[in-house]
Amino acid sequence: MNILVTGGAGFIGAFLTDRLLKEGHSVVIVDNLNTIGGIPYINPKAKFLNQDICDESLYSELNNYKLDAIYHLAAQSGGEPSYDNPKYDLLTNSLGTYLLAKFAKENNIPRFIYTSTVAIYGSNAEGDTKEDTIAAPDSIYGVSKLSGEYFIKQLLKGSKTSYSMFRVFNSYGPGEDLNYLKKGMVSIYASFIWRNEPIHVKGSLDRYRDFTYIEDTVDVLYLSLENSNTYNQIYNLSSGIKTIIRDLLSTMVQVSNQDKDYPIKEGYGTLGDSFGFHANIDKLRKDLNWEPKVQIKEGLEKYFQWIDSLPLTNDLKGLHPLDNKK
């Protein structure tokens, strides 16, 4: 298939692109390299368009590629940074998603897969969160991503494009940018260990999250491509395993071979942060016949193997884990 991956240079997008190429597909990446989650990585086997999804001239160019599917990952991808420049969130996450969905509809592109976020639930995600839990985003980011869901539903309902939307719950793994301290709990805490500094936790250690290893996240996104059970459906994409931050930190300290009493400083929480996120993934399990494969300890071991191989530097460009596997 000819597949467009927006945000294909970002953390999840780079691994998804790699998987799609390995499965024999052709990939076009659209990315403006405003990456905050990952070390920007452009797979040399993909066609790369360094463009903004809000730039309408992009869409006439995309007509040249006879696309069979779109994975739409491009986004301002963090809760805390959404307060730095809300306009960027609203443009990319809302308008950009609207333009892409409109393009898919007008060109009868068969598949449209969107990475939404747990943040659309806000504090309603503290329990056993099912997909029909009422959306109540606590952050600008959550609102903008939810508007993306609505645009996709509204535009693609009854069209020749089948959509699937995945509300991603904290994905982590090698390739995250350890120098960026405003997104990705695991990468932020790992960054302190990497620098041999006390771990600074913004918010309570009693908070909890589901953490999903990057390979599991990508597996779900890939498997949904041709699985008609997932057409026009919304899913939680998560390990479904609730982890308390205190326990996460103690496993991180353990697998990185640090002293048990490695210093941890608890500080004030950040704007728009939520106390707990935990997903019910029964629908995903059933429709995709899928189980998460990587448990948190194993995922963190793999993560720290990569971190241990990195020089201590403020610029990790060129040190993406996929760089070594060309």
Ligand X SMILES: NC(=O)c1ccc[n+]([C@@H]2O[C@H](COP(=O)([O-])OP(=O)(O)OC[C@H]3O[C@@H](n4cnc5c(N)ncnc54)[C@H](O)[C@@H]3O)[C@@H](O)[C@H]2O)c1
User: Interface with ligand X by CB under 6 A: which residues?
Assistant: 6-7, 9-13, 30-38, 40, 52-54, 73-77, 92, 96, 115, 117, 145, 168, 170-171
Report the residue number, 88 or 231, with the smaller CB distance to ligand X: 88
Shortest reach from residue 167's CB to ligand X, in Å: 7
State the CB neighbour count (10 A cutoff) for residue 320.
Answer: 23
Report the residue number, 162 or 236, with the smaller CB distance to ligand X: 236
Question: In the structure encoding, which two tokens stand for residue 202, read together?
Answer: 């913004």
Q: Which residue is nearest to ligand X (CB)?
A: 10
Q: Report d(CA 323, CA 260) in Å as an integer.
A: 33
Report the residue number, 76 or 243, with the smaller CB distance to ligand X: 76
Report the residue number, 38 or 299, with the smaller CB distance to ligand X: 38
Q: Where are the alpha helices (DSSP H) in the chain?
A: 11-22, 57-62, 86-89, 97-106, 140-156, 185-194, 214-224, 245-255, 282-288, 296-308
Q: Where are the alpha helices (DSSP H) in 195-315?
A: 214-224, 245-255, 282-288, 296-308
Q: Report d(CA 278, CA 21) in Å as an integer.
A: 32
Give the distance from CA 289 to its chain's centroid. Answer: 21
Q: Is residue 93 classed exposed, middle or buried when 0-12, 13-18 and 19+ CB atoms within 10 A define those classes?
A: buried
Q: How many helices (H) and strands (E) does the chain have?
A: 10, 13
Shortest reach from residue 239's CB to ligand X, in Å: 12
Shortest reach from residue 258's CB to ligand X, in Å: 24
Shortest reach from residue 291's CB to ligand X, in Å: 19
Q: Report d(CA 206, CA 210) in Å as an integer.
A: 13
- Residues 153, 98 contacting (CB under 8 angstroms): no
Question: In the structure encoding, which two tokens stand for residue 224, read together?
Answer: 């949904």
Shortest reach from residue 4's CB to ligand X, in Å: 11
Report the residue number, 32 or 164, with the smaller CB distance to ligand X: 32
Shortest reach from residue 98's CB to ligand X, in Å: 12
Shortest reach from residue 214's CB to ligand X, in Å: 8
Report the residue number, 58 or 255, with the smaller CB distance to ligand X: 58
Report the residue number, 262 or 276, with the smaller CB distance to ligand X: 276
